[in-house]
C-alpha cells in the first residue's frame, strides 16, 4: 500500500490521509501508563478540576491546566508524572526537583509523582495556590489616574530676565 511513516510519531499514514501528530488527546498521552501512574493521574486531574472553571487540554506531550494562562501541566513519563507548577515563588521542598524563574513574575517548579498517595498536601496546596494566583499574575496592572501637571513658576520676575538681543 502507498503511504509513509510520520518521522515524529512513527505512525503509518495512508496516501492522501490527513495527519497532524502534534494534536493529541489526554487518552493518547495516558494510554500506556502503569496502574499506579494512571491512578495518580486520575486523582491529580480530579483534584485540579474541583478548583473551578478552567480549560484542560492536551498539547504535544503535555496535558495543560489553564485559566487565562497555564497554571500547571503534566508530562506523563514511563515511570512518573512530571508536574510543572507555575507560582509567584520558588518552592523549597524535597518534593520539588527543580525550580527556576520562567518570567519576571513566575517560577516553574518541577515535581515528580509516582503514586496516587503523593497527590495530597502540600502538592495539592501548591496546585490550588497556582490556580488562584494564575489570574493575578497574568492580569494587567490597573493604570494610575493621570495627575494634573503643575505649572512651574520661576522665582525670577519677568523684569529681571535678560532681554533677547536683536
**Over residues 56-76, mean pLDDT:** 92
> Where residue 65 falls among pLDDT bands split at 50, 70, 90?
very high
When the pLDDT of each residue in the chain is averaged and rounded to a whole number, the result is 85
Tell me if 37 sits within 8 A of 44, measured CB to CB: no
- Contact in structure between 134 and 86 (CB atoms under 8 Å): yes
Edge-to-edge strand ranges of the sheet holding 55-59: 55-59, 62-66, 70-76, 81-87, 107-113, 96-101
pLDDT of amino acid 13: 81
Confidence band of 68 (pLDDT split at 50, 70, 90): confident
Report residue 17's pLDDT band, with 50, 70 and 90 as the boundaries.
confident
Domain boundaries, the chain: 23-141
Q: What is the pLDDT of residues 104-135, one digit of tens each?
A: 999 999 999 999 999 999 999 999 999 999 87
Under 8 Å between Cβ of 41 and 76: yes
Handedness of CA 46, 137, 70, 40 (dihedral sign): negative
Q: Is the overall model pTM greater than 0.85, yes or no?
A: no
The C-alpha cell 515524529 sits at 8
Q: Which fold has domain 23-141?
A: Yope Regulator; Chain: A, (3.30.1460)
Amino acid at each position: 500500500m502507498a503511504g509513509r511513516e510520520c518521522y515524529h510519531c512513527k505512525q503509518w499514514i495512508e496516501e492522501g490521509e490527513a495527519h497532524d501528530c502534534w494534536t493529541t488527546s489526554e487518552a493518547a498521552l495516558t494510554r500506556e501508563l502503569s496502574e499506579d501512574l494512571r491512578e495518580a493521574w486520575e486523582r491529580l486531574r480530579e483534584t485540579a478540576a474541583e478548583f473551578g472553571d478552567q480549560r484542560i487540554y492536551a498539547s504535544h506531550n503535555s496535558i495543560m491546566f489553564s485559566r487565562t494562562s497555564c497554571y500547571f501541566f503534566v508530562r506523563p513519563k514511563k515511570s512518573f508524572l512530571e508536574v510543572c507548577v507555575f507560582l509567584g515563588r520558588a518552592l523549597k521542598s524535597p518534593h520539588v526537583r527543580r525550580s527556576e524563574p520562567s518570567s519576571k513574575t513566575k517560577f516553574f517548579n518541577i515535581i515528580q509523582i509516582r503514586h496516587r498517595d503523593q497527590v495530597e498536601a502540600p502538592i495539592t496546596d501548591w496546585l490550588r495556590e497556582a490556580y488562584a494566583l494564575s489570574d493575578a499574575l497574568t492580569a494587567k496592572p490597573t493604570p494610575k489616574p493621570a495627575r494634573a501637571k503643575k505649572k512651574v513658576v520661576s522665582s525670577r520676575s519677568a523684569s529681571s530676565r535678560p532681554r533677547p538681543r536683536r
